[in-house]
Chain A
């Protein structure tokens, strides 16, 4: 796995769990999903790819178990026409009701995790899944890593609600320290039926899916899903003014087993022809943000700074005089207004025991030009 990808989803003991790709219309995450598929295929990991939003042929994942939930998710189009040849490499499923969908996923999981001697038995079953991934997964590995990739989980969340889908994901995914299938244990329990007992049930090591942020009107939905995820990767558009080759930003939050939460920020660019994704550090974004935007004075070195530029004089270039001479200014300041307390009694004042003091405060709008 490439270093940037490992940086996003973790390595070693900090792998597995639920990985969410959050995207929007401005920055779709489908190329990133393909990037993960490419990486896991290159590593020889067993992958179960489920298409819900896009047709299977838009993804490239050799040796993966393919489940088609796109072509007829609700059964509106009826059964396939007579004479049509079903694709034995693809398992078709509907998303309604949900337990049918989950059963299909569990059947694919059990088929992959079953020992090799049981593969021939499973191939005679009605599922008829050609599972080439079994060869890779059971080749000397005691804990095969099985990846479940759902191209989009938003249609399921919109139909059934976030709590139900979270429960479904939790039932499909367990931490490696819990009920992971051990090939050394009795295999006869698997050969008996396709739905094995919970005690020997295998689990998906990692579940990866896309969620569209802008499709769910309740922010609580995303929050609930993020709570149950180990890694949350959020794709967003680049800031305005960015002139590089990249197409978007990935901000990742990874929860490690030690309790530490690691945040990562990367830039990605997608090749328009091959749809290959390249990940780069996001340092260039921070460098661009630290550079102040050019001002007008920077364009002209001889111009003074804005603070030193003279302010325009409103009394200039008039046909009448608005200015005061020095004598006029002194005379105006020396005028004593009748209501101002001067300390000296007026010769016209009537002797009384009380007086009125006018003391201006901050709220008074005292105008030098119009003091009364």
Chain B
């Protein structure tokens, strides 16, 4: 799988990918944490597990191009009922140009669409209802009920032991449309889903730049089983080191690591060591 150095640092093998965990990735403007999401995407797909990707900030075109560089074919994975995409970018809010009554499944997802996707829209007049809908959608995905994922796939004997991951990129968009309380409630239900469906893990990304969000980030830290905190170096910009990652909740793992993003890989190493 890609990012072998990250896997080695986390002491994860192909057989011991996290299961039934709520994984929180916190990043900032100076250091983009999306490489951690791509790591999970690649890790699970290459092991033949199911992946559901909820894209709030990037389009399907972006993910297809990025994963192609990593040796993945999302269209092929969709055909094999291993991958599903929820498009939350094209029609983000009900007041969007193509939203409202004219929206619907795939109605606003114009342009690049190599396989069917599901559209998700935030109803600005009732954001809580949208959060409930998202939870229901994710709960169904954990049970294997989504376009592209065989219904009841996780419950059949052939899928016994097969794991799945739901990746949300990112929840900050929901936060902008709502408040801290709703995000805490949403994260709580994501945790409930991971405990109800122990074969399923959920990875969500949130941007933690704002000082006002400090308490919300702490609350999400408390709720999550594993936390990746991606930030810039305290000493400033460096050509050889692009940032640092603090990992909590993983046993026998270095608490602090430096990383450097190269073309198709991410190199992770202990602070002060050469790449």
Give the Cβ gap from A241 to chain B, nearest Cβ, in Å.
Answer: 16
Residue pair B222, A71 in contact (C-beta under 8 Å): no
**Please, how many angstroms separate the alpha-carbon atoms of A217 and B189 in the complex?**
23
Contacts of A73 in B (CB 8 A): 185, 188
| Size bracket of the B interface | 20 to 34
Residue pair B192, A77 in contact (C-beta under 8 Å): yes
- Asked if B38 is at the interface of the complex by the 8 Å CB criterion, the answer is no
Most chain A CB inside 10 Å of its own CB: which residue of B181, B188, B196 = B188
Closest B residue by C-beta to A25: B221
Contacts of B251 in A (CB 8 A): 272
Residue pair B219, A70 in contact (C-beta under 8 Å): no
- Asked if B215 is at the interface of the complex by the 8 Å CB criterion, the answer is yes
Residue pair A71, B196 in contact (C-beta under 8 Å): yes
**Please, how many angstroms separate the alpha-carbon atoms of A77 and B186 in the complex?**
12
Q: Could you list 16 further interchain pairs (A-B, Cβ under 8 angstroms) beyond the known A73-B185, A77-B189, A215-B222?
A: A25-B218, A25-B222, A25-B248, A28-B222, A53-B222, A55-B195, A72-B192, A74-B185, A74-B189, A76-B131, A76-B135, A155-B188, A158-B181, A159-B181, A214-B218, A217-B214
Which B residues form the contact surface with A (CB < 8 A)?
131-132, 135-136, 139, 180-181, 184-185, 188-189, 192, 195-196, 214-215, 218-219, 221-223, 248, 251
Give the Cβ gap from B13 to chain A, nearest Cβ, in Å.
Answer: 20
Contacts of B184 in A (CB 8 A): 155, 158
Per-position contact with B for A21-32: 1 when CB-CB < 8 Å, else 0? Answer: 000110010000
Q: Which residues of A from 122 to 179 have beta carbons under 8 Å from B?
A: 152, 154-155, 158-159
**Please, how many angstroms separate the alpha-carbon atoms of A217 and B219 in the complex?**
11
Closest A residue by C-beta to B189: A76
**Please, how many angstroms separate the alpha-carbon atoms of A53 and B192 in the complex?**
10
**Please, how many angstroms separate the alpha-carbon atoms of A340 and B133 in the complex?**
90
Closest B residue by C-beta to A152: B222
- Asked if A332 is at the interface of the complex by the 8 Å CB criterion, the answer is no
Contacts of B215 in A (CB 8 A): 214-217
| Size bracket of the A interface | 20 to 34
Contacts of B248 in A (CB 8 A): 25
**Please, how many angstroms separate the alpha-carbon atoms of A215 and B132 in the complex?**
24
**Please, how many angstroms separate the alpha-carbon atoms of A189 and B75 in the complex?**
68
Give the Cβ gap from A293 to chain B, nearest Cβ, in Å.
Answer: 23
Give the Cβ gap from A151 to chain B, nearest Cβ, in Å.
Answer: 11
Most chain B CB inside 10 Å of its own CB: which residue of A28, A72, A76 = A76
**Interface residues of chain B: helix, strand, loop or mixed (majority):** helix
Give the Cβ gap from A21 to chain B, nearest Cβ, in Å.
Answer: 13
Give the Cβ gap from B101 to chain A, nearest Cβ, in Å.
Answer: 25
Give the Cβ gap from B234 to chain A, nearest Cβ, in Å.
Answer: 16
Residue pair A76, B219 in contact (C-beta under 8 Å): no
Contacts of B131 in A (CB 8 A): 76
Residue pair B135, A77 in contact (C-beta under 8 Å): yes
Given known contacts A53-B222, A159-B181, A212-B218, A77 and B188 CB-to-CB distance under 8 angstroms: no
Give the Cβ gap from A135 to chain B, nearest Cβ, in Å.
Answer: 31
Residue pair B185, A215 in contact (C-beta under 8 Å): no
The 21 listed contacts between A and B (C-beta, < 8 Å) are A24-B218, A25-B218, A25-B221, A28-B222, A53-B222, A55-B195, A70-B192, A71-B196, A73-B188, A76-B132, A76-B135, A76-B136, A77-B189, A77-B192, A154-B219, A158-B180, A158-B219, A212-B218, A215-B219, A217-B214, A272-B251
Q: Which residues of A from 277 to 302 have beta carbons under 8 Å from B?
A: none
Give the Cβ gap from B196 to chain A, nearest Cβ, in Å.
Answer: 7
**Please, how many angstroms separate the alpha-carbon atoms of A152 and B184 in the complex?**
14
Contacts of B135 in A (CB 8 A): 76-77
Q: Which 8 A-B pairs have the closest CB atoms?
A: A214-B218, A217-B215, A215-B219, A25-B221, A76-B132, A55-B195, A215-B218, A215-B215
Give the Cβ gap from A156 to chain B, nearest Cβ, in Å.
Answer: 12
Give the Cβ gap from B243 to chain A, nearest Cβ, in Å.
Answer: 20
Contacts of A155 in B (CB 8 A): 184, 188
Contacts of A214 in B (CB 8 A): 214-215, 218
Contacts of A28 in B (CB 8 A): 222
Residue pair A53, B195 in contact (C-beta under 8 Å): no
Closest B residue by C-beta to A218: B215
Give the Cβ gap from A55 to chain B, nearest Cβ, in Å.
Answer: 5
Closest B residue by C-beta to A78: B136
**Please, how many angstroms separate the alpha-carbon atoms of A97 and B189 in the complex?**
17
Contacts of B192 in A (CB 8 A): 70-72, 77
